[in-house]
Chain A
């Protein structure tokens, strides 16, 4: 049984066409299921736990990166997480902006997403954990004033630039430049500065601190530092498309 969890913003009129197209396509493919709306759920974790206990085979996040982030966070912290890992899959139907996570999985739009759900191509993906927040793609912070403690070393730079802790690449163009994989049990640390030099290394865990800047999780959530970041190997089984960034 599929359980579709709709984000609140989908109730706006500008998304109604996309939602209708999606629902028609799901009906055509015989993929109808239960619909839950985030706005109507007091406790998303409890709602997901109930659905998994009732035998949900697929939990589908309908929305954007923020939707996926909320649902994954609820799943990982649920009492039934072990059951979820064995029996339940995560699906994504992207609607609107900020959908880099879906894009990484080769899911371009709502109609493609429905076809991908039917094809049921599954990958077990690692999950990044920053403090008590989870990320599928990356955590980002500005480089000035940031200290990284990793592999027994401290790293800093005085140059302006960006620091990304990557689990799953979101930019297809970077695929050839970095050996990044979402199921190698490692986080990739990529530092690019204004001087155009690149630093790359990987680690299972690290700490980040910056007095002024916050850490941005999957482009949607900001958290304060200092924060410990580590990887949870094979945390989530996701339904992915053929054109995913990783192989």
Chain B
């Protein structure tokens, strides 16, 4: 198991870094680690890890493996692995996670759902649907 510190070390090897002076608009998709310190509007998706700095403002749905959020996010967050929410983070949207830590001072305005639970619910709905059609026939 990785410790919290080891996991966050991974961000230092980022393939993409959006600096604090930069504004990005569009659907950003990548395979490597992404660090956002500036403004992004649209969507962000990576197969790897995502770091959102304190000065960052993201108006987008975001999806990553491990995530570390310290800035402002207006949109839904889906972190397939570990999600760390820092004390300066302000998240306005629903959050899906496998593991989570939230520092005192963080602001979250949305639903928190553990991914394993939501996947179970979705499976349950799919299993019920075929039984209903059989009854109708």
Binding site for B on A (CB under 8 A): 151-159, 161, 179, 191, 193, 195, 197-202
Contacts and interface: CB of A to CB of B under 8 A. Distances in A.
Grouping DSSP codes into helix (H, G, I), strand (E, B) and loop, the A interface class, with mixed when no group exceeds half, is strand
Contacts of A200: 14, 16-17
B23 A153 contact: no
Contacts of B38: 197, 199
B19 A202 contact: no
20 contacts: A152-B26, A153-B28, A155-B24, A157-B23, A158-B21, A159-B21, A191-B22, A193-B19, A193-B21, A197-B19, A197-B20, A197-B21, A197-B37, A197-B38, A199-B18, A199-B19, A200-B16, A201-B16, A201-B17, A201-B18
Interface of B: 14-30, 37-38, 42
Contacts of A195: 20-21
A155 B23 contact: yes
7 pairs of A and B residues whose beta carbons are closest in the complex: A153-B26, A197-B19, A199-B19, A159-B21, A201-B16, A193-B21, A197-B20
A189 to B, nearest CB: 10
B21 A202 contact: no
B interface SS class: strand
B29 A198 contact: no
Given A151-B29, A152-B29, A201-B15, A157 B24 contact: no
Contacts of B14: 200
Contacts of A159: 21
Given A197-B37, A199-B38, A201-B16, A152 B21 contact: no
A89 B31 CA distance: 35
Contacts of A156: 22-23
Given A153-B25, A197-B19, A197-B38, 16 more contacts: A151-B28, A152-B28, A152-B29, A153-B42, A154-B24, A155-B22, A158-B21, A159-B21, A195-B21, A198-B17, A199-B19, A199-B22, A200-B14, A201-B15, A201-B16, A201-B17
Interface centre among B14, B21, B30 (most CB of A within 10 A): B21
A159 B37 CA distance: 15
A191 to B, nearest CB: 6
A202 B29 CA distance: 12
A153 B27 contact: yes
A153 B25 CA distance: 5
A152 B40 CA distance: 13
Contacts of B28: 151-153
B2 to A, nearest CB: 23
Looking at B25, B27, B42, the one whose CB has the most chain A CB atoms below 10 A away is: B25
A201 B24 CA distance: 12
